[in-house]
Amino acid sequence: MLEIKNLRVTVEEKPILKGIDLKVNAGELHAIMGPNGSGKSTLAHVIAGREIYEVAEGEITYNGKDLLDMDPDERALEGVFMSYQYPAVIPGVNLAYFMKAAANAVRKHRGEPEMDAVDFLSFIKEKLAEVEMDEAYLKRAVNDGFSGGEKKRNEILQMLTLDPSLAVLDETDSGLDIDAVRIVADGVNKFRRDDRAVVVITHYQRILQYMDPDVVHVLMDGRIIRSGGKNLAHELEEKGYSWLREEAAA
Amino acid sequence: MQHFEEQFAALSGTDHEPPSLQQLRQTAFDQFKEIGFPQQSWEAWRFTNLKSVERGRFRLAAAKDLPTISDEAAIGLQIPTLLFVNGHYQPNLSKAPAGVTVSTLLESYSEDAALVTNGYDAGRSPFAVLNTAMMNSGLHLRFTEEFSSDSAVRFLYLTTKLSEPIMNHPRLVVDLADGAQATIVEEYRGDGEQPYWNNALTVLRASTNSQLNHVRIQHEAASASNLGATFYQAPADSAIHGTYLSAGSALHRHDVNVVLSGEGADVTVNGLCLTRETEHADHNIIMDHVSEHVTSRMLFKYILADRSSGVFNGRAVVRQDAQKIDANQTNNNLLLSNDALMNSNPQLEIYADDVRCTHGSTTGQISDDALFYLRSRGLDTASAKALLINGFANEVVEEIKDDTVQAYARDILESWLEGVNRG
Ligand SMILES: Nc1ncnc2c1ncn2[C@@H]1O[C@H](COP(=O)(O)OP(=O)(O)OP(=O)(O)O)[C@@H](O)[C@H]1O
Ligand SMILES: [Mg+2]
């Protein structure tokens, strides 16, 4: 579904990603771990299409199409979803209004009928229940005054509402209490299907316990320096990253 | 100035007004001549250029300027309306709901001159003084307790189909009886290419336990100049809630003077100001806390596109001995272009010590993070921007309490945005 080849990315002429290769097939869940500043969020943003990150080299194909050739909104409509490490605040725009606009943009793109206010409300209420969010959030401005954990839950709500094929979740488990981690993991598990793929960026193996990743990657200094099974996450949690760094240097 | 003298002479020559009114006009006109047009060296006018009205050779509207209005659609908002067309009152096309008495200025002046002339201090404002000299149309409205709190009445000042540049000096005077609750929409609207100038003066006098909702909508033609001075009297236990939407005219200046004169007075004034192309809009607000135990809020938001410019001067004055004041003043501005310019100057002038006053101002462009967030959820750039701009404007639009009027304001915002997007 997603294939990244030799991706090199710079920000303000500073190289951040230094040759990433990654292949994620439909049905799979990949985890990416790595130290602070190693380039994980950069990778997620490049997949979503953020313009400030400059792709110096390499390619990304999504379902056989050149992803880098598509605008961010086009990517979203084609089924690429990113959950933000730091979701933006949208003052004055209530969540219901925003979600209805986004859900209908996707439907329109797929040639499906758009939902009216009544249909949308019953639809979104179901999704809210899945992530155990109160209906009162619908009337609040998007992420405005939301706590860290509420913002992350809201990201998962959006994922479930927009029905994407590829979800890249950037530290969606950070800042969550123990119950919320389980709720988010349940949301992701419900979302998983043979025709969908998930990339989970995380610092903790805790969420991976609920999720059963197919592959765990370690991203360090702009490169994937190791890929392995679920056990790699345990190993990292115990030993930290330094042993990998030393091995890489050796 | 000679042009204005000619206009004034023409006005005096045709009038059948009481001598005391003629005298009032003459005194005001002499004062106007003495003050002159604002110079940019004057603090309150520093960023606003008035050459277009000074040199526009506008003549006072005459009977021949009145087109026939048969088209209800031109009237827009479907609420009881008192209609003026090109400076002429249209009683046959006007209606007022129960609980409000409508008189012409001349009728009220003849009853008691103070009804027309009290409740405001024009000070050294040349345009307020000029309005007194030349007031050529307007109404006096009296709201009683019978006026239903869910109804509203509109003063609509329509300018249309002109063949020459005209000016009008409308005056609207509003009185609320004790305990009355009134919603009044004051709207200036126009179209056409021909420049025109409206120099309005509005006096709103609340009473004890009365509640006034005042919505001022300015969407004049792009060729127009709209200057206005609004004076509020807020005595003890009165509540005034003013919301302004301006979305038109090449030049817009609105002076607002609020006097909170009795304990328990509570005043809110909010504004949403939309400018595009080379338009210029300027608000100058003075919130004067004369009495102790009063509260006030000011929230002004500007959205500036293209090469347009805006000025916000807000001044909260707390008089000596006016303790226990709660006053808040905010000005937030959104620039939609690199060439747009905003001058913001919120000020506090406090002579008492036991007060809680806050003020703040921000000016910025649409947040890239927010825009990207929306696009990454599938909204195209234009829709995403529109959503963010609407979100920014919402805080003010929501302040319009009457649903019908609020929807009308949203429509104006919507079509303004479409205009900006078309470029
Ligand atoms: N917009 C930007 N401008 C300048 N530098 C940036 C920008 N975005 C990222 N960087 C830099 O790129 C590097 C990688 O950042 P990135 O956010 O991708 O790291 P990360 O792996 O997600 O870290 P964390 O675990 O702390 O979230 C960092 O050194 C960061 O400072
Ligand atoms: Mg990160």
The residue type found at B277 is: E
Q: What's the CA gap between B159 and A8, in Å, rounded?
A: 61
Phi, then psi, of A104 in degrees rounded to 5 = -70, -30
Taking CA atoms, B358 is separated from B257, B315, B386, B403, in Å, by: 19, 11, 30, 30
pLDDT at A245 over 90: no
CA-atom Rg of chain B in angstroms = 21
B180 CB-side CA count, 13 A = 27
**Pick from B370, B378, B391: which is nearest to A102 by CB?**
B378
pLDDT band at A250 (very low <50, low <70, confident <90, very high): low
Q: So what's the pLDDT on residue B15?
A: 64
Does B388 contact chain A (CB < 8 Å)? Answer: yes
Residue nearest to atom 6 of ligand 1 (CA): A11
pLDDT band at A240 (very low <50, low <70, confident <90, very high): confident
Give the pLDDT mean for A107-122. 95
Burial class (CB in 10 A: 0-12, 13-18, 19+), B71: exposed
What distance lies between CA A169 and its chain's CA centroid?
A: 2
B372 CB neighbours in chain A (<8 A) are 48, 50-51, 72, 88
pLDDT at B392 over 80: yes
pLDDT band at B16 (very low <50, low <70, confident <90, very high): confident
Q: Is A41 helix (H, G, I), strand (E, B) or coil?
A: helix
Ligand 1 interacting residues, C-beta cut-off 6 A: A 11-12, 16, 34, 36-42, 52, 85
Question: Max Cα separation, chain A?
Answer: 62
The CATH number of the domain covering residues in A2-249: 3.40.50.300
Residues 6+ apart with CB under 8 A from A116: none
Give the pLDDT mean for A225-247. 85
Give the pLDDT mean for B67-79. 73
Instruction: Kindly give the distance from the C-alpha atom of residue A111 to the centroid of ligand 2, in angstroms, as a whole number.
Output: 35
Taking CA atoms, B38 is separated from A74, B202, B233, B248, B345, in Å, by: 53, 20, 26, 22, 19
Q: So what's the pLDDT on residue B71?
A: 61
Q: Determine the atom of ligand 1 nearest the C-alpha atom of A53.
A: 1
CB contact under 8 A, B383 and A141: no
Give the pLDDT mean for B157-162. 89
Return the closest-CA partner of residue B4 out of B44, B36, B48: B36
Instruction: Kindly give the distance from the C-alpha atom of residue B318 to the centroid of ligand 2, in angstroms, as a whole number.
Output: 49
Q: What's the CA gap between A197 and A29, in Å, rounded?
A: 6
**Pick from B368, B378, B388: which is nearest to A73 by CB?**
B378
Q: So what's the pLDDT on residue A60?
A: 97
The region that residue A12 occupies, defined by phi over 0 for left and psi between -120 and 50 for alpha, beta otherwise, is: left
Does B373 contact chain A (CB < 8 Å)? Answer: yes
B197 in Cβ contact with B221 (< 8 Å): no
Residue nearest to atom 16 of ligand 1 (CA): A39
Residues 6+ apart with CB under 8 A from A24: A1, A2, A3, A30, A166, A197, A199
pLDDT at B128 over 80: yes
Q: Which of A90, A154, A166 to mutate to test the interface with B (most CBs of B within 10 A)?
A: A90
Mean model confidence pLDDT for chain B: 94
CB contact under 8 A, A50 and B380: no
**Pick from B373, B381, B393: which is nearest to A90 by CB?**
B373
B369 CB neighbours in chain A (<8 A) are 88
pLDDT at B14 over 80: no
Does B362 contact chain A (CB < 8 Å)? Answer: no
Give the pLDDT mean for A39-56. 96
Residue nearest to atom 17 of ligand 1 (CA): A41
Instruction: Kindly give the distance from the C-alpha atom of residue A112 to the centroid of ligand 1, in angstroms, as a whole number.
Output: 38
Residues 6+ apart with CB under 8 A from A4: A20, A21, A22, A23, A58, A59, A60
Q: What ipTM does this complex have?
A: 0.96
Q: Which residue of B has its CA nearest to A106?
A: B378
pLDDT at B73 over 70: no
Q: In this predicted model, what pLDDT tens digit does every residue of A157-207 receive, in sequence order?
A: 999 999 999 999 999 998 888 888 999 999 999 999 999 999 999 998 888
Q: What's the CA gap between A177 and A150, in Å, rounded?
A: 10
CB contact under 8 A, B379 and A75: no
Q: Bridge-partner residues for A86, per DSSP?
A: none
B175 in Cβ contact with B142 (< 8 Å): yes
Q: Determine the atom of ligand 1 nearest the C-alpha atom of A52.
A: 1
pLDDT band at B389 (very low <50, low <70, confident <90, very high): very high
According to DSSP, residue B348 is labeled E
Residues 6+ apart with CB under 8 A from A203: A33, A171, A174
CB contact under 8 A, A76 and B375: yes
Return the closest-CA partner of residue A196 out of A222, A167, A216, A176: A167
Mean model confidence pLDDT for chain A: 93
Residue nearest to atom 2 of ligand 1 (CA): A11
Give the pLDDT mean for B303-325. 95
Q: In this predicted model, what pLDDT tens digit does every residue of B251-293 receive, in sequence order?
A: 999 999 999 999 999 999 999 999 999 999 999 999 999 999 9
Q: Bridge-partner residues for A105, per DSSP?
A: none
Q: What's the CA gap between A104 and B40, in Å, rounded?
A: 52
According to DSSP, residue B65 is labeled G
Return the closest-CA partner of residue B137 out of B113, B94, B110, B172: B172
**Hey, what's the torsion of the CAs at B155, B160, B163, B166, to 10 degrees?**
20
Could you tell me what percent of chain B has a pLDDT over 70?
A: 98
Q: Give the number of other CB atoms < 10 A from CB of residue A137.
A: 18
Q: So what's the pLDDT on residue B161?
A: 80
Pocket residue to mutate for ligand 1, from A42, A55, A84, most atoms within 8 A of Cβ: A42
Residues 6+ apart with CB under 8 A from B261: B233, B234, B235, B236, B290, B291
Per-residue burial over B252-276, b = 16 or more CB atoms within 10 Å of its CB, e = otherwise: bbbbbbbbbbbebbbbbbbbbbbbb
The answer to whether the Cα torsion of A187, A193, A195, A197 is positive or negative is: positive
B412 in Cβ contact with B185 (< 8 Å): no
Q: What is the DSSP string of A105-142?
A: HHHHHTTPPPP-HHHHHHHHHHHHHHTT--GGGGGSBT
Give the pLDDT mean for A134-140. 95
Least confidently predicted of A77-91, B4-18, B304-318: B4-18
B375 CB neighbours in chain A (<8 A) are 49, 71-73, 76
Residue with tokens 């050459």: B51
Least confidently predicted of A176-185, B246-255, B296-305: A176-185
Q: So what's the pLDDT on residue B74?
A: 59
* pTM for this prediction: 0.91
Residue with tokens 């703040």: B360
Instruction: Kindly give the distance from the C-alpha atom of residue A55 to the centroid of ligand 1, in angstroms, as a whole number.
Output: 15
Return the closest-CA partner of residue A191 out of A167, A155, A215, A217: A167
Residue nearest to atom 3 of ligand 1 (CA): A11
CB contact under 8 A, A93 and B388: yes
pLDDT at B69 over 90: no
SS3 labels along A172-202 = CCCCCCHHHHHHHHHHHHHHCCCCCEEEEEC
Least confidently predicted of A174-183, A238-247, B212-221: A238-247
Give the pLDDT mean for B145-150. 92
Q: What is the DSSP string of B89-133?
A: E-GGG----TTEEEEEHHHHHHH-THHHH-S---TT-HHHHHHHH
Q: In this predicted model, what pLDDT tens digit does every residue of A96-113 receive, in sequence order?
A: 999 999 999 999 999 999
**Pick from A48, A75, A91: which is nearest to B391 by CB?**
A91
pLDDT at B72 over 70: no
Pocket residue to mutate for ligand 1, from A40, A82, A152, most atoms within 8 A of Cβ: A40
